[in-house]
Structure 1
């Protein structure tokens, strides 16, 4: 495979792109889509993820080069910025076109999510409202999946709210490892203004809120498994914060808090997919 093609794959942020696409597909199957509907949802979400990833790396190439990010294809010269830009435009155009196969309202919702994510890449990443695009884009994902169903039922408010909290929490968690590099290159989004401790608290609080909404939002009483998930979401970040403090005092990297947030995020994703079946 040519290095430029591999560069495009790496520049698409393949891990989160694949994760979000898989979650969308599972959610689509859970809410009752037939195979053709699941396929349309997956292709729409994949196209939007590619557009966001490629545009992000194209815009950040100069910053990534400045901090020595050799893992970034555009910064290391493996792929040219203009090629990333062309690919991002093609994927962005493909997103609403594919989504139209599920209906106009659903396509509009998918487009809102895409535009919101692109606005994060520029110009909102370095502003106090950097968390807003994450909330909007993640909230629009289950809304799109539900609206894409035949008959277009209204997406439950609790499902959209939980996804929005999950996305907002993911923003703070995602930025944590890069706070120092971002500060060196002039990125001053909301997590950077809150600092490491504030961002950890924000991530944990938002993900806990998502857990609670996903447990108590669906019809009927919450299950014991759901209540247990809330307890885990409340306790794990505290353990991670304490372990991170111990590691920092010993001269190590305080990554435990970040990993704890990821554990809660994984719990929320599972709840999102499972509880989407009640829609």
Structure 2
């Protein structure tokens, strides 16, 4: 197990400069390297697509065997076309996806790492997210946070980048770093690419605050979310209706109501106990 993760980290060190966070990564993302496939590579991936179609209807061991065959074929194609970065990246990325679906997380992580090392960008964001997912599921939380950060920095205005930022926060939470988790949720909220993502991030912030007993702060966050998308709601139309529905269905609203009810009940119980104690105290 250690050797696999060591290999992945070594591969990451060989990856192109687009993996760096900050302005440099943003510049690379604006001018991605996306070479075309050769005819031979196209034919190889058509064969893989045929294997994918053959998955339909398969279950259990039969499906697992088919996924393994697909993953191994993708790896062979990646090696065969290693001189073609676009084909090699696609092969390794698809191998990672097949191994992930197969449930072989270490092989998936290794394949995603190999994809990231290629000098092409077409599947880079997806491969980074895939590697981070494997690291997270392997409880490699700090490594996952780093890789999610690289994913978010590469294409910062995408929904995938938003999801990566949310996962950074959730990984901090899983590591019991709750202050860092809330800070990361706020960063995701501030960088949200659209109103729906703003609602999602705000919902996470409010739930995190509720879990800490900061009910007034949670209520303020819910109000801030609504204020932030007020213009989108005023625009009307189907999108506004969907946004209003998403606002109304925020799980943090229900959680806040329950938490306040519980706090009110606890306060009432305390008053009842105090009154009972006064009534039972004998008069000297």
Please indicate, yes or no, whether the TM-score normalized by the shorter chain is above 0.5.
Answer: no
Higher gyration radius (CA): 2
TM-score (ref. length: structure 1):
0.32
TM-score (ref. length: structure 2):
0.31
Structure with higher RCO (Cα < 8 A, 6+ apart): 1
